[in-house]
Amino acid sequence: SSELTQDPAVSVALGQTVRITCQGDSLRSYYASWYQQKPGQAPVLVIYGKNNRPSGIPDRFSGSSSGNTASLTITGAQAEDEADYYCNSRDSSGNHNVFGGGTKLTVL
Amino acid sequence: QVTLKESGPVLVKPTETLTLTCTVSGFSLSNARMGVSWIRQPPGKALEWLAHIFSNDEKSYSTSLKSRLTISKDTSKSQVVLTMTNMDPVDTATYYCARIRRELWFDHFDYWGQGTLVTVSS
């Protein structure tokens, strides 16, 4: 399968922990990467590989994977974390990339 | 400092061919395990990966758009070009180029251009 499935919307209270998930057969073979996108801006890489954060990404962002599911966890969500989040991975063939449908995170 | 910048027409007519150029700086298109991808996003919709090209000239295309896409690079000019034929209004989107890094078990897009909005309309 070449599809990655994400919940369309998730909400979290300020300061609480939220997990955003991404499901797909290819995730049994490949790690996901995660991107944060705020309105009118280009996506920004927040997590890649097993659980790597680019320079400048706060350590409240973390990633994990189990079976066909990859997860992005935000521990102590802040107002500025409100955004759309996309997962990406190679497809099962390993030759193409595919994005999930995105999750809109609301911080209450 | 790594930067990518997309350029191309803002308006194309249906059935025309779109040509977009991504000009990169701060890295070389000959760097191993690095390449450039094109990704698009229709207004209000999700990201869609279109194609990539790596330093060894390995290319890959979205299965659903493969027949319409061509990606190429000019390493001396630090440019990657994407052409998409037979444009349709549904192809209206912001088109991004991004640097792709390839490791054994994962890829990631670590730098993105600002994107360019392409509208398809007669």
Which tens digit of pLDDT belongs to each residue from B10-52? 999 999 999 999 999 999 999 988 999 999 999 999 999 999 9
- Whether residue B112 and residue A31 make contact (CB cut-off 8 A), yes or no, is no
pLDDT digits (tens, 9 = 90+) for B82-105: 999 999 999 999 999 999 999 999
Rounded to a whole number of angstroms, the distance from the CA of B96 to the nearest CA of chain A is 8
Q: Chain B residue closest to A33 (CA)? A: B108
Q: Considering CB atoms only, which of A31, A99, A101 is closest to B106?
A: A31
pLDDT class for A2, splitting at 50, 70, 90? Answer: low
Those residues of chain A whose CB sits closer than 8 Å to some CB in chain B are: 2, 29-33, 35, 37, 42-45, 48-49, 54, 86, 88-90, 95-102
Q: Give, in degrees to the nearest 5, the angle at Cα A78 between A76 and A84.
A: 110
Does the pLDDT value for residue A60 go beyond 50?
A: yes
Cβ proximity of A36 and A46 under 8 Å = yes
Distance from CA of B25 to the nearest CA of A (A): 18
Residues of A in contact with B104 (CB under 8 A): none
The stretch A12-31 carries a mean pLDDT of: 97
Interface test with A, best of B1, B53, B107, B117 (most A CBs within 10 A): B107
Q: Helix, strand, coil proportions of chain A in percent (round to 5)?
A: 5, 45, 45
* Chain A residues inside the 8 Å CB shell of B48: 99
A97–B63 CB contact, under 8 Å: no
Residue A61 has pLDDT above 90, yes or no: yes
Angstrom distances, CA of residue B78 to CA of A22, B57, B75: 34, 14, 5
- What are phi and psi for residue B89, nearest 5 degrees? -55, -30
